[in-house]
Amino acid sequence: MTPTEALKHYFGYTEFKAGQKKVIDLLLGHKNTLALLPTGGGKSLCYQIPALLEDGLTLVISPLISLMKDQVDSLQQNGIPAAFINSSQEFETAKAVLAKARRHELKLLYIAPERLENQFFLELLQTLSVSLVAVDEAHCISQWGHDFRPSYLKLPALLAQLPVRPTLVALTATATPQVAKDIKELLLIPAENEVKTSFARDNLTFKLIKGTDFEHYLLSYLKQNPNDSGIIYASTRKRVEQLGIMLNKMGIKAGIYHAGLSELQRRESQEDFLYDRTPVMVATNAFGMGIDKSNVRFVIHAQVPGSLEAYYQEAGRAGRDGLPSEAILFYKDADLQVQRFFIDNSQADEQHREFDYQKLQALTRYANTEECLQRFLVQYFGQDCPDCQKCTNCTDTREKQDITKETQMIMSCIVRMQSRFGKKIVAQVLAGSKAKRILELNFDQLSTYGIMHQKTKEIETLIDFLTASGYLKTSSGQFPTLHVTQTGLEVLRGQAKVYARIEKAERNSEQPVE
């Protein structure tokens, strides 16, 4: 059977999606491969078809325990002998699955990465004839990935131990160039075996909403789109519950999903959503990994997620069927605090916290850029694409203003404060705040004290924009300090100008007092 025949025979599709055939051909040629395909790009078929066409067992390593069953069920429905082993099973069941694998009665075996830490399992694995190993969500192997799972690091040693070295395929939708490099190095994938399709999602319209009351916005959005199915992400369980109650009170059928609910509640809620019994799902990031619901018309983030990787992955759950859909991020500075809290209280070591802070900063840049949002995201993942012409930035018709003078004021203030302070204090100094801390530090003596006409908040917005545009940069860590970049210096020296759509304030007769 050829790959195309297998596609038709087992899955009922007639054509491959971009990149699929290339990955399959490489795997059939026993080449280790990295597949970078967007969410909904059809990554599973890339290893399922070679699994069916080759002798031996395909081992699929997937961090999504809750979804293994769904994947295996759907394979079985297509007449494909597949099974999974995970911690939710009885020992006897797992043993029976392995016995089946030994009798060559399985083509695909799904396991969680944690299995790789289990010596007993590893020994058993050596008795199976594994011909292909598929590493799903492969960004988890990289320390730079947004969801680092140390168990994945056991993988190279495991592969080396197997009697016959299997072919390997790593798949992910969210790898920055650095993460892709890491995956290739760790899993011994030659650079030329990287299959990458455009990360741009042409059917998605990216929207960034700031300075609006979220609940008000949400209700009017849902009223305008009454029959659409969509996901609303919030950062905390509490906020998810609040929003769920609020929507149901307003007569909008919405389910909720977070890790604090019972297994049964989660399953019910997920199925109600999948089968369109409740069109709206309010959830934390616990929901959605691997969910294959094609008609999600919108994904709204009520609060910022922790990284652009997480954002693109979650937003990417909209429009898997290729029809026009929206990805809306509601941005409020204060919500960054929630993410900072998560970072500070995570189990991660110092270095990983630092990475997490850097990721959060990239997200802040996205929220403050005036560039095309789709393009910004695609560039973050190391590619490029034309401006989408439909995101909130591409369609912003406000005139661009020359803000060179304001930029210079901000920069000279930062320099005078020896680049040792963050956004809030710099803005306060520029606005001439009489806050205790400002006076204690004698910042009211600086020549830049009170030289700007805007209020502190407005200056902060300007600083965010300048950071997003690369004129300023912030140090990472819990208390980021502001610095002028090389590009910024050109503005400071009068060699370049800065334009933005930010409204300019007129000078008030009185300096704002804060």
Contacts to ligand ADP by CB under 6 A: 13, 15-17, 20, 37, 39-45, 292
Specify the residue, 319 or 450, whose C-beta has the smaller distance to ligand ADP: 319
Q: How far is the CB of 20 from ligand ADP (least distance, A)?
A: 6
Q: Which residues contact 164 (CB under 8 A, 6 or more apart)?
A: 129, 130, 131
Q: How far is the CB of 11 from ligand ADP (least distance, A)?
A: 6
Q: How far is the CB of 88 from ligand ADP (least distance, A)?
A: 21
Specify the residue, 47 or 152, whose C-beta has the smaller distance to ligand ADP: 47
Place of tokens 């905390």: 236
Specify the residue, 73 or 292, whose C-beta has the smaller distance to ligand ADP: 292
Specify the residue, 258 or 320, whose C-beta has the smaller distance to ligand ADP: 320
Report whether 391 contacts 322 (CB < 8 A): no
Nearest to residue 97, comparing CAs of 110, 112, 78? 110
Element (H, E) at 6: helix 3-6
Report whether 306 contacts 363 (CB < 8 A): yes
Specify the residue, 17 or 154, whose C-beta has the smaller distance to ligand ADP: 17
Specify the residue, 40 or 50, whose C-beta has the smaller distance to ligand ADP: 40
Report whether 93 contacts 68 (CB < 8 A): no
The torsion of the CA quartet 254, 258, 261, 267, rounded to 10 degrees, works out to 70
Tokens of 265: 């509640």
Report whether 206 contacts 377 (CB < 8 A): yes
Q: How far is the CB of 193 from ligand ADP (least distance, A)?
A: 18
Specify the residue, 43 or 375, whose C-beta has the smaller distance to ligand ADP: 43
Whole-angstrom Cα distance, residue 71 to residue 56? Answer: 20
Q: How far is the CB of 25 from ligand ADP (least distance, A)?
A: 14
Report whether 411 contacts 405 (CB < 8 A): no
Q: Residue with CB nearest ligand ADP?
A: 42
Q: What is the DSSP string of 71-112?
A: HHHHHHHTT--EEEE-TTS-HHHHHHHHHHHHTT--SEEEE-
Specify the residue, 26 or 410, whose C-beta has the smaller distance to ligand ADP: 26
Q: How far is the CB of 39 from ligand ADP (least distance, A)?
A: 5
Specify the residue, 11 or 257, whose C-beta has the smaller distance to ligand ADP: 11
Looking at residue 178, the DSSP 8-state letter turns out to be H
Specify the residue, 320 or 473, whose C-beta has the smaller distance to ligand ADP: 320
Whole-angstrom Cα distance, residue 151 to residue 140? Answer: 9
| Apex 55 CA angle, 50 and 56, nearest 5 | 100
Whole-angstrom Cα distance, residue 134 to residue 3? Answer: 17
Q: How far is the CB of 17 from ligand ADP (least distance, A)?
A: 4
**Residues 443-482: b if buried by 16+ CB within 10 A, e if exposed:** beebebbbbbbbbbebbbbbbbbbbbbebbbbebeeebbb
Place of tokens 């991020």: 329
Specify the residue, 15 or 349, whose C-beta has the smaller distance to ligand ADP: 15
Specify the residue, 109 or 427, whose C-beta has the smaller distance to ligand ADP: 109
Report whether 257 contacts 266 (CB < 8 A): yes
Q: How far is the CB of 388 from ligand ADP (least distance, A)?
A: 21
Q: How far is the CB of 255 from ligand ADP (least distance, A)?
A: 21
Q: List the strands of the sheet with 57-61, edge to edge.
A: 82-85, 108-111, 57-61, 130-135, 167-172, 33-36, 194-196
Q: How far is the CB of 263 from ligand ADP (least distance, A)?
A: 23
Q: How far is the CB of 136 from ligand ADP (least distance, A)?
A: 8
- In single-letter form, the type of residue at position 257 comes to Y
Q: Which residues contact 249 (CB under 8 A, 6 or more apart)?
A: none
Nearest to residue 204, comparing CAs of 325, 37, 312, 375? 325
Specify the residue, 15 or 192, whose C-beta has the smaller distance to ligand ADP: 15
- In single-letter form, the type of residue at position 237 comes to R
Q: How far is the CB of 290 from ligand ADP (least distance, A)?
A: 7
Q: How far is the CB of 289 from ligand ADP (least distance, A)?
A: 10
Whole-angstrom Cα distance, residue 61 to residue 43? Answer: 13
